[in-house]
């Protein structure tokens, strides 16, 4: 008889779950936990899967619950390196929802918030249970199981009962002892754990006073996420290792005013849900692809299909160039049409639309204004666009100039104005509005 395997990937531990034979109706699972320690989590996942498959050849499918895309990518690369193919990666929110629905914990609730407080942080996710759709999800590391352990450690050292460890190994050992005390306080009113540095002694009342501010901060974050989701959340399901702390559920009820669900074994809910979702994957040539940005560095991009030739760089570049040429030409033609219309309305149509001898001279002599002064001949420089603009801005003076210096010849009836990016445009010289007075 075939079986399935569920795996969950956490920051502190990797858990594996298999349904107990003959107890499928009761949803009984054999769950084992492997601490992560100093090993990469993806290596630990591959080792655990390989060990279980070697011990039980009847396992026909494996589902792995992951927290984020970084975990999923690392696990997928390691499993591919070891040539494991009959598996499936599923977000841990979906696996937790699968277990809670099948166990009847969420019966009658359409939209719920999952409060997942684990070793490395807190995740709050608002989920539509009917559509299996995640509306909003946020994560913080400001509160975590490790942070609560550090609060216990510092309190024990400050009380004088525990000496500060001299090295990192002793500090890690004390942290593990404080984590054990935290877990025991979920069911006991007080704990006393001996260590090489002294006695870890803590009561439930002191522990709750120690972590109250952190738990209330997590409840405030949960409330804010629910408000931002703009969804009518009907209940909050608490999962993760720290969900076993009684204070967490009490504070959430007080802050949110909705039912708070704490299922038995909240630290293994995602693992058991993964086992429920495990299905045989047949004829799978490769794992399900991630988005392009999440592919491993050594993975080759998928070849383009015949119908997606528009994505090729050459075709798109050619079309863009042609569109730009057409748009520039359209702008030039439009400018000429506007100038011609103005000229026709003022009675200068024939002069605007044809080039006379003086306009030809202005066109050919215009580049001479850009030559350096040292190489320019000593002849008179023709009138430029600036001079033409000045003549258009003000009428000619009503008196004759009395200076004996050589004056610049007056511009002709028409002058060509050169605008960068457009062809030369003939601009007529506006005659004076009033005749000059008699001398």
CB count in 10 Å sphere of residue 391: 16
Give the separation between CA 165 and CA 174, rounded to whole angstroms. 8
Of the ranges 121-135, 279-293, 323-337, 382-396, which one carries the lowest mean pLDDT score? 382-396
22 or 315, greater pLDDT = 22
Which helix (H) or strand (E) is 46 found in, with range?
helix 41-55
Contacts of 92 (CB under 8 A, 6+ apart): 8, 9, 65, 66, 67, 116, 270, 274
- What is the predicted pLDDT for the residue at 356? 44
- What is the predicted pLDDT for the residue at 64? 96
Which helix (H) or strand (E) is 116 found in, with range?
strand 111-117
Segment 27-63, tens digit of pLDDT = 689 999 988 878 899 999 999 999 999 998 889 999 9
Structure tokens given for 53 = 């498959």
What is this structure's pTM? 0.64
pLDDT at residue 201 tops 90: yes
Of the ranges 153-167, 274-288, 336-350, 378-392, which one carries the lowest mean pLDDT score? 378-392
Of the ranges 7-11, 185-189, 434-438, which one carries the lowest mean pLDDT score? 434-438
Contacts of 198 (CB under 8 A, 6+ apart): 156, 161, 162, 163
Of the ranges 166-175, 286-295, 402-411, which one carries the lowest mean pLDDT score? 286-295
The answer to whether the beta carbons of residues 121 and 312 sit under 8 Å apart is no
Closest CA to 53 of 33, 73, 83: 83
pLDDT at residue 382 tops 90: no
Segment 56-82, tens digit of pLDDT = 888 999 999 998 888 899 999 999 999
Of the ranges 88-92, 138-142, 425-429, which one carries the lowest mean pLDDT score? 425-429
11 or 22, greater pLDDT = 11
Contacts of 257 (CB under 8 A, 6+ apart): none
pLDDT at residue 294 tops 70: no
pLDDT at residue 209 tops 60: yes
Give the separation between CA 7 and CA 52, rounded to whole angstroms. 11
Segment 217-235, tens digit of pLDDT = 999 999 999 999 999 999 9
Rounded to 5°, the CA angle 189-191-196 comes to 170
326 or 21, greater pLDDT = 21
Give the separation between CA 270 and CA 403, rounded to whole angstroms. 99
φ/ψ of 238, rounded to 5, equals -100, 120
* Mean pLDDT value across the chain: 75
pLDDT at residue 173 tops 70: yes
pLDDT at residue 245 tops 80: yes
The percent of residues in the chain predicted with pLDDT above 90, rounded, is 49
- What is the predicted pLDDT for the residue at 161? 86
Strand order, beta sheet including 13-19: 29-35, 13-19, 3-9, 59-66, 87-91
pLDDT at residue 292 tops 90: no
Give the separation between CA 353 and CA 411, rounded to whole angstroms. 19
Residues paired with 198 in a beta bridge: 162, 195
Of the ranges 192-196, 252-256, 400-404, which one carries the lowest mean pLDDT score? 400-404
pLDDT at residue 238 tops 70: yes
Segment 78-134, tens digit of pLDDT = 999 999 988 999 999 999 999 999 999 999 899 999 999 999 999 999 999 988 899
């Amino acid at each position: 008889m075939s079986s399935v395997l569920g795996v969950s990937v956490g920051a502190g531990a990797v858990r594996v779950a298999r349904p107990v034979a003959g107890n499928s109706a009761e949803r009984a699972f054999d769950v084992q936990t492997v601490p992560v320690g100093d090993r990469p989590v993806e290596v630990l996942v591959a080792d655990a899967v390989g060990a279980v498959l070697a011990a039980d050849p009847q396992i026909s499918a494996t589902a792995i619950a992951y927290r984020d895309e970084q975990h999923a990518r690392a696990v997928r690369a390691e499993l591919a390196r070891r040539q494991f193919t009959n598996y499936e990666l599923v977000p841990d929110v979906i696996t937790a929802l699968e277990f809670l629905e099948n166990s009847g914990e969420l019966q009658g609730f359409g939209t719920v918030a999952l409060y997942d407080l684990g070793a490395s942080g807190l995740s709050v996710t608002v989920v539509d249970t009917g559509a299996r759709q995640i509306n909003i999800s946020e994560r913080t590391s400001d509160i975590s199981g490790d942070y609560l352990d550090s609060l216990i450690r510092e309190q024990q050292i400050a009380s004088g009962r525990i000496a500060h460890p001299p090295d990192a190994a002793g500090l890690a050992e004390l942290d593990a002892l404080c984590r054990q005390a935290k877990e025991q306080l979920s069911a006991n009113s007080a704990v006393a754990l001996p260590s090489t540095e002294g006695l870890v002694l803590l009561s439930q009342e002191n522990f709750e006073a120690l972590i109250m501010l952190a738990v209330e901060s997590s409840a405030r974050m949960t409330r804010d996420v629910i408000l931002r989701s703009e969804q009518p959340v009907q209940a909050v399901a608490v999962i993760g290792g720290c969900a076993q702390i009684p204070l967490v559920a009490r504070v959430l009820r007080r802050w949110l005013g909705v039912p708070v669900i704490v299922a038995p074994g909240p630290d293994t809910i995602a693992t058991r849900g993964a086992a429920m979702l495990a299905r045989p994957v047949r004829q799978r040539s490769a794992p399900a692809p991630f988005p392009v940005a999440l592919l491993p560095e050594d993975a080759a991009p998928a070849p383009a299909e015949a119908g997606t030739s528009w994505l090729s760089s050459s075709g798109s570049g050619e079309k863009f160039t042609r569109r730009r040429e057409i748009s520039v030409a359209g702008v030039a033609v439009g400018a000429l049409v506007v100038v011609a219309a103005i000229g026709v309305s003022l009675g200068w149509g024939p002069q605007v639309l044809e080039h006379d001898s003086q306009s030809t001279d202005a066109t050919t002599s215009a580049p001479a204004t850009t030559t350096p002064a040292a190489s320019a001949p000593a002849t008179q420089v023709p009138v430029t666009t600036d001079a033409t603009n000045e003549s258009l801005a003000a009428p000619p003076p009503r008196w004759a100039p009395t200076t004996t210096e050589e004056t610049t010849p007056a511009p002709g009836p028409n002058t060509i104005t050169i605008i960068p990016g457009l062809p030369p445009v003939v601009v007529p010289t506006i005659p004076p509005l009033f005749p000059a007075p008699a001398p």
